[in-house]
DNA sequence: CACAGTTGATAAGTTTTCTTCACAAAGAGA
DNA sequence: TCTCTTTGTGAAGAAAACTTATCAACTGTG
């Protein structure tokens, strides 16, 4: 169920939208200004926020960048009564994914919501397709072994790693380590110890969860 | 530091084990029955649970499957005063990784703990290193694209897939599909529609969680 | 300083993977 | 039936990845 947060100071509009969204298979919640919206976003994960630009208290234009910075994957559609080209452009630049002017037809909004969520999916797709280095790296058994060794031992020097891998030619290990470094899966500290990067750590746990299925 | 949870109703034994485990470089915590153990497991991640089988409240044999189902990677060593072949077999079938009868020497327990943790490590390692086909498969952008397409569209026929990929040479697509089939990431139904296998689905979700980090 | 072990870059040769092409069986429709 | 699309195989050349070998910079130690 897709969670949507409606942020508007007009209670009637909030109630109305909540009802329509529920009917259309969404799981909505609402907030009457920016502060409350941010609190709710902290407690729960929303895929989409419908954000009124003019509100008493913290308004939408102010809230927008705060939301986007903390929750970059959350989609935001701005709702506003005062439509000017400038404010629209400004909102889009600050990270709004779409922009609808009041009054709007409910179908218009639903279309925007669906397109917005659809694009979000595509976004994930793009990210995955572009992480080519990472997958190329994982394709090699030696390199996966290195990741696991570093996962278990936290830090290892070059020659220790080479010995643990049972590889006598150190230049071969070097080749693979370079490839892992280029893909940002491992990194070196000042003393040249090799260790997993945060990304590398994440991957090892993912690897085990996949392998054990 | 390896976290170990000691679950036993005997306070003396708990305190004693906590001390010994601390001395031996573990980071132990304790619980006096199954309910409390489950709460602690929720709050914190333990690599190993030492679980008494007979306790007032929720006993060990009852708790065992609950823990294993929710935290499949957590290792569990059963401790019990009433050793029968049946209860041991039953416990092992329910997911216990080892089984020790009271009274036991502390060294005996430590050996069991170390072996248990070592096996856990080795298990993950072996599994991952052997899933070579899978990683080789994911190394190719076209094949990842196929997985994503199938993830989004559920089922696709060969030529539809080819067109969606914008590849004019269908034999090339065929080559990659074969490779995906061999790695058991996709499968075909009677009507030759291609779709993700359960493993394939799991991988796509893992892929997105890694990519978006 | 000199030396031994460590760490790493680069280039040539080898193996694996990918692409392309030629061909063919199975099914759908005129 | 004949034709066209779909679905698929196998093999040879092109491209990428991997291995191996040569050389060099850095590290610490006696």
Q: What pLDDT, in 10s, does the model give residues A157-173?
A: 898 889 888 888 899 99
pLDDT recorded at residue B82: 65
For residue A208, the chain B residues in CB contact (below 8 A) are 73, 124, 127-128
Query: In angstroms, what separates the C-alpha of A104 from chain B's closest C-alpha?
Result: 30
pLDDT recorded at residue B211: 64
What is the interface pTM, i.e. ipTM, of the complex? 0.61
Degrees (nearest 5) of the Cα angle A128, B212, B155?
45
Q: Is B3 helix (H, G, I), strand (E, B) or coil?
A: strand
Q: What percent of chain A is modeled with pLDDT above 90?
A: 33
Structure tokens at A49: 């926020």
Q: What is the DSSP letter of A190?
A: T
Q: What are phi and psi of A79, to 5 degrees?
A: -120, 130
Q: What percent of chain B is modeled with pLDDT above 70?
A: 87
Poorest-confidence range of A168-182, A197-211, B164-178, B184-198? Answer: A197-211
Instruction: Give the pLDDT band (50/70/90) at residue B94.
Output: confident
Query: Which residue in B has a C-alpha nearest to residue A129's C-alpha?
Result: B141
pLDDT in tens, A49-69: 999 988 888 888 888 888 887
The correct answer on CATH 3.40.50.2300 for the domain covering A2-129 is yes
Which nucleotide's C1' is closest to A139 (Cα)?
D17
Residues in chain B: 213
Instruction: Give the pLDDT band (50/70/90) at residue A88.
Output: low
Please tell me if residue B141 touches chain A, with a CB cutoff of 8 Å: yes
CATH node for B2-128: 3.40.50.2300
Q: Are residues B199 and A210, on separate chains, in Cβ contact within 8 Å?
A: yes
What ranges do the domains of chain B cover? 2-128, 133-211
Q: What percent of chain A is modeled with pLDDT above 70?
A: 87
- CA–CA dist A99, A115 (Å, integer): 12
> Is residue A75's beta carbon less than 7 angstroms from any atom in nucleic acid strand D?
no
- CA–CA dist B16, B156 (Å, integer): 61
Query: In angstroms, what separates the C-alpha of A76 from chain B's closest C-alpha?
Result: 18
pLDDT recorded at residue B114: 86
Q: Are residues B211 and A124, on separate chains, in Cβ contact within 8 Å?
A: yes
Please tell me if residue A136 touches chain B, with a CB cutoff of 8 Å: yes
Q: Is the pLDDT of residue A86 over 70?
A: no
Strands (E), chain A: 2-7, 26-31, 48-52, 75-80, 98-101, 155-156, 186-188, 194-196
Distance A154 CA to D30 C1' (A): 33
For residue B208, the chain A residues in CB contact (below 8 A) are 124, 127-128
Q: What is the mean pLDDT of chain A?
A: 84
Fold entry, domain A133-208? Arc Repressor Mutant, subunit A (1.10.10)
Contact A207, B128 (CB under 8 A): yes
Instruction: Give the pLDDT band (50/70/90) at residue A126.
Output: low
Degrees (nearest 5) of the Cα angle A28, B206, A142?
165
Residue B121: C-alpha distances to residues A162, B36, B78, B125 (Å): 20, 27, 20, 6
Please tell me if residue B1 touches chain A, with a CB cutoff of 8 Å: no
Q: Are residues A199 and B210, on separate chains, in Cβ contact within 8 Å?
A: yes
Q: What are phi and psi of A133, to 5 degrees?
A: -50, -45
Q: Is the pLDDT of residue B124 over 80?
A: no
Q: Is the pLDDT of residue B46 over 60?
A: yes
Query: Which residue in A has a C-alpha nearest to residue B117's C-alpha?
Result: A152
pLDDT in tens, B53-62: 888 888 888 8
Mean pLDDT of B81-97: 68
Task: Return the residue matching tokens 């856990």.
Answer: B120
- CA–CA dist B183, B135 (Å, integer): 9
Task: Return the residue matching tokens 């990929």.
Answer: B165
Mean pLDDT of B44-59: 86
pLDDT recorded at residue A207: 79
Q: Are residues A208 and B128, on separate chains, in Cβ contact within 8 Å?
A: yes
**Rounded-to-10 torsion of CA B147, B148, B154, B156:** -70
Structure tokens at B64: 């065992």
Q: Are residues A212 and B124, on separate chains, in Cβ contact within 8 Å?
A: yes
Query: SS3 for A14-70, per residue?
Result: HHHHHHHHHHCCEEEEEECCHHHHHHHHHHCCCCEEEEECCCCCCCHHHHHHHHHHH
Please tell me if residue A209 touches chain B, with a CB cutoff of 8 Å: yes
Q: Is the pLDDT of residue A21 over 90?
A: yes
pLDDT recorded at residue B8: 94
Poorest-confidence range of A85-89, A103-107, B71-75? Answer: A85-89
- CA–CA dist B195, B179 (Å, integer): 14
Q: What is the mean pLDDT of chain B?
A: 84
pLDDT in tens, A132-190: 889 999 999 999 999 988 887 778 889 888 988 888 889 999 999 999 999 999 998 88
Query: In angstroms, what separates the C-alpha of B84 from chain A's closest C-alpha?
Result: 31
Structure tokens at A83: 């439509």
Structure tokens at B28: 């132990």
Q: Are residues A73 and B199, on separate chains, in Cβ contact within 8 Å?
A: no
The correct answer on CATH 1.10.287.610 for the domain covering B133-211 is no
Q: How many CB pairs under 8 A join A and B?
A: 85
Reported as half-sphere exposure (CB side, CA atoms, 13 A), residue A20 has a value of 16
Residue B100: C-alpha distances to residues A145, A159, B119 (Å): 33, 40, 17
Chain D nucleotides with an atom closer than 7 Å to a protein C-beta: 5-11, 17-23
Nearest residue to D16 (CA, C1')?
Answer: A136
Contact B151, B186 (CB under 8 A): no
């Amino acid at each position: 169920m897709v969670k949507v947060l409606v942020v508007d100071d007009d209670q009637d509009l909030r109630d109305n939208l909540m009802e329509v969204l529920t009917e259309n298979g969404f799981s909505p919640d609402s907030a009457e200004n920016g502060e409350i919206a941010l609190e709710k976003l902290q407690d729960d994960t929303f895929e989409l926020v419908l954000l009124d630009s003019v509100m008493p208290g913290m308004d939408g234009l102010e809230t927008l960048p705060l939301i986007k910075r903390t929750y970059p994957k959350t989609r935001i559609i701005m709702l506003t009564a005062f439509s000017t080209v400038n404010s629209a452009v400004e909102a889009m630049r600050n990270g709004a994914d779409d922009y609808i002017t009041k009054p709007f037809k409910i179908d218009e909004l639903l279309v925007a919501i669906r397109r917005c969520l659809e694009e979000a999916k595509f976004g994930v797709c793009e990210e995955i397709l572009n992480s080519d280095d990472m997958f190329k790296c994982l394709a090699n058994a030696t390199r996966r072994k290195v990741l696991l060794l570093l996962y278990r031992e936290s830090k290892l020097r070059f020659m220790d790693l080479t010995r643990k891998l049972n590889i006598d030619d150190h230049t071969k290990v070097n080749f693979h380590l370079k490839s892992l470094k280029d893909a940002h899966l491992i990194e070196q500290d000042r003393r040249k110890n090799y260790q997993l990067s945060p990304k590398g750590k994440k991957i090892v746990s993912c690897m085990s969860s996949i392998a054990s299925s």
